[in-house]
Structure 1
Amino acid sequence: MLEKFFENHAIKDGDLELNDELMKVGRRIVEKCKGLPLALKTIGCLLSTKSSISDWENILESDIWELPKEHSEIIPALFLSYRHLPSHLKRCFAYCALFPKDYEFVKEELIFLWMTQNFLLSPQQIRHPEEVGEEYFNDLLSRCFFNQSSFVGRFVMHDLLNDLAKYVCADFCFRLKYDKRQCIPKTTRHFSFEFRDVKSFDGFESLTDAKRLRSFLPISNSWRAEWHFKISIHNLFSKIKFIRMLSFRGCVDLREVPDSVGDLKHLQSLDLSCTGIQKLPDSICLLYNLLILKLSSCSMLEEFPLNLHKLTKLRYLEFEGTKVRKMPIHFGELKNLQVLSMFLVDKNSELSTKHLGGLGGLNLHGRLSINDVQNIGNPLDALKANLKDKRHVKLELKWKLDHMPDDARKENEVLQNLQPSKHLEDLSIWNYNGTEFPSWEFDNSNLVFLELRNCKYCLCLPPLGLLSSLKILVIIGLDGIVSIGAEFYGSNSSFASLERLTFSNMKEWEEWECKTTSFPRLEDLSVYDCPKLKGTKVVVSDELRISGNSMDTSHTDGGGDSLTIFRLHFFPKLRSLELTRCQNLRRISQESVNNHLIVLFIQDCPEFKSFLFPKPMQILFPSLTNLYITRLDHCPSLECLPAEGLPKSISSLTILNCPLLKERCQSPDGEDWGKIAHIQELHLFQSWCVALYHDIIQRK
């Protein structure tokens, strides 16, 4: 078992075959890993880069396997994997010693941290540092130094690898609370602390003794966490002249940035997000090495300094959540800008034209949000933004909410002329008041995410089914949509990659003509607050959610004016079913075995009475583990559980306020007692069920 686990990591994509000699050495290496999965994984990933028997033997015979007792907390296999990293990856990995254990970080943020320490320099500067950082990150990921978190887009280090990073950094990295010493060593180069550990920074004046400090990093997984800083910031600036990365994110005491910030000539990243600053000093424009400036959620900040354009090396500018309503003067001179979180279209048509031309001259390739698009007076000005030639990964186009367009045709032309690059992966369009979507919207083979929100005057959807890479589609508040039909799909092979589909707040939507072959990979379908929707036949492969609708089944079963019986057998591959606010739902039926259903969730269905099955639930739903019938005072009509009882596979049952069911299972003598006695986790949430719950526990 352990040998197979090791082999799976040591041999990737069939590049290497384990002959008898390699097998023999591999078995001895597995023994040295002493059954630790992480050690087997990392050493296996290391050996996947080594093809000769001599390389494997060198690793087997390394003296690192016999680390002295004083280093007993470090796993030799992990240290060995670190020792075999190229020097540039050693630096990048060791810097992660700033992170607390279990900290979930975003790849882009870590790459920016590396950039501020000059870890991402390429020969002759032939590549952007962002590209170099991406390569380094993916290399460490492939060698198992990082792992994917349970949250999409986030990563984490194993605790033992976190210890290793701290070990190899020694006194160069100081993490408050983790390092037990009271004083920060003078040798410290990088300093971090967690918000939850340090609510106030009072009493840490020894920080100013670390005169060669290069990183000051407060860390929290919560964006809105707060902390206090009691040291004079001016005095701090006078001591840390070599600082490169400085963050005060979440420091509630920071309301004014002292002029002395201009003396930090080595500073490359300044994060003032979520502070109370009202303005930036002019001296900030003297930071000629500044690459990153973050000002998000500085809710009191109203304007930029006049000379911000002098920060010619600036690559990243973030200021959403501020009161800033105008772009910096001479904005177009920031020629190195790569990521701009927000671009504001000025009401002044002359400035708007000038700034759009400046935007068009930038080599942006990260994420960009263009706000106040309604201020583009001439559709030809939209062409000056030159979005088509930019390598955006994420783009947001936002009109002001509830603005009234003078000319719908002009709105259409503006959006048409804001055509993005074919490389775009993530697109959101908010509050667009044109009557139709442009042709380019369904002509992008790379688009993965699309959101259309509050586009109230659009009368039909474009053929989004043609987007072959689209995985997530969100459609919210399109009040002009009455029917969704063939125009939505575009071809017989429509929505080939779609995994999640959400409709919400569609006030006039009545009919949905849905092809059975249109969503071959759909896992999650959510329909919320669409009061006029009559319903349709839908075949999905993983998860269905229907909420807030009175749905007609005439398209699917030829009868009924509303959805009174939900026919679960229409969805043979469903893993999770959620029925929420279905006003007329009375029963759930199932005709054949469903091996996929794991979760059944019924919420706010006041007419729901019973399950209607021709065979026992144990036979029909062999994989069902969680049953929820919830919401206080909203399921009063549920009379009984299935006569044959619940599937033995169910481990969790939640029932909230179902009065008629109460009488049947409120005591061990009740009619439904035997149907729930095997449940491991029971939540009934009523005063009458407390005694029942305790009795179940005692019987177990």
Structure 2
Amino acid sequence: MPVLETLGGALFGAILQMLFDNLDSHQFTNSLVKEWLDEVRDVLYDAEDLLEQIHYEFSKTKLEAEFQITSSKVHSFESDIIALLDYLESLLNRKIVTDFKIYSGIRFGLGNKVSEKKVESTSLVAEEVIYGREEDKETIFTWLRSDTSDNKLSILSIVGMGGMGKTTLAQHVYNDPKTDEAKFDEKAWVCVSDVFDALRVSKAIIGAFTNSRDDSEDLEMVHGKLKKRLSERKFLLVLDDVWNEDRNQWKALQTPLTFGAKGSKIIVTTRSHKVASIMQSTYIHQLKQLDEDHSWQTFAKHAFQDQDSKLKSELKEIGMKIVKKCQGLPLALETIGCLLRSKSSVTDWEGVLTSEIWDLPIEDSKIVPTLLLSYYHLPAHLKRCFAYCALFPKDHKLNKDSLIFLWMAQNFLHCSQQSKSPEEVGEDYFNDLVSRLGVDDEKRVSGKIRHMSYVAP
């Protein structure tokens, strides 16, 4: 029976991780897919409950009489497990799996995530004016003009949650005449995005510097070209939207970049402090939410066609309340503003005000997909902890220690290091979430986790 429990636990863990690692974006645009995923979740949670019951029965039996358990109980557990696996197998064999390509060849642990390709960023400025980022720009300009006492490559990471405007800020810095004052010989912009492969990114970098395509499939050859191109030349490289947390991949990419001349700089945009640390950033610039005045300017720019003085007073009053709900997030302000631009009735505006921003239809909002991308990139062990926070009422202030104890009670905390207590593992989980959400004010951490957890599937 211990073997059955062990195998069952391993099987459940593999299937559950597969499910959460391979959630497809179709669930947010097709109700049938979402219903199917809900059914799969339910049967997996039933399996988890059954395994916990098995564990309890064994613990109880060992206390009463060593290594003894009734055969009827064994058969009952085995029957329940077989029934659950049969039901799960029927779910995986449904036509919807093929129709929507949710998984490819899954049979209890095998499968490939199917996701839509993200639109890559470019160095071209999409927004001519950005509000509330002058100090951020000046900080980066000062760093760009700074000189280093050695030849070490200097890296600045712009860190912030999705929708904070990291890419927009980098675009404005990249194209600003003040950047030219640093007198770079070369400038290049590369959108890294989800997949960080040393060969692919290296080819993208050499292509960006030479304005040509490199079809080489040999990393040695690509690095040789990159080293030759950058040797003794002062360069500026922007690596936008970096998610890589594999230090070895970064080390493999970094080597030819170190041959640039003294004063060469790399700007990285990322959502994670851990990424910034792995890339050995010289300076980490945390991007903050916009203040109230700049939030209103951003919203009004997209929401109104006329000047502020010509606004209907009732619309402006509602608009100010909507701005407060956006909590200084530029993407939310832009999205809601654009949505309301074509709506001139008070009823329409009040409808947006009284609804949750996250309840907007997917086709009307970039906010939910943007935040969901952060969720997709969470490791499997953090996804359940993160989604669990959505169980609490709106505006509920989470206590870190209490939250960790609740995670412990749900058996969410696991660690391969025997020396660590569950509380220490929970602390690591919490700090990792904090890092990935880009929140540096500890007083706001729990609230931010609670607020964002609503977008989790």
Assess same fold via TM > 0.5.
no
Higher strand share: 1
Q: Which has the higher contact order (CA 8 A, sep 6+)?
A: 2
TM-score range, shorter chain: under 0.3
TM-score of the superposed pair, with normalisation by structure 1: 0.18
TM-score of the superposed pair, with normalisation by structure 2: 0.25
Higher helix share: 2
Q: Which has the larger radius of gyration?
A: 1
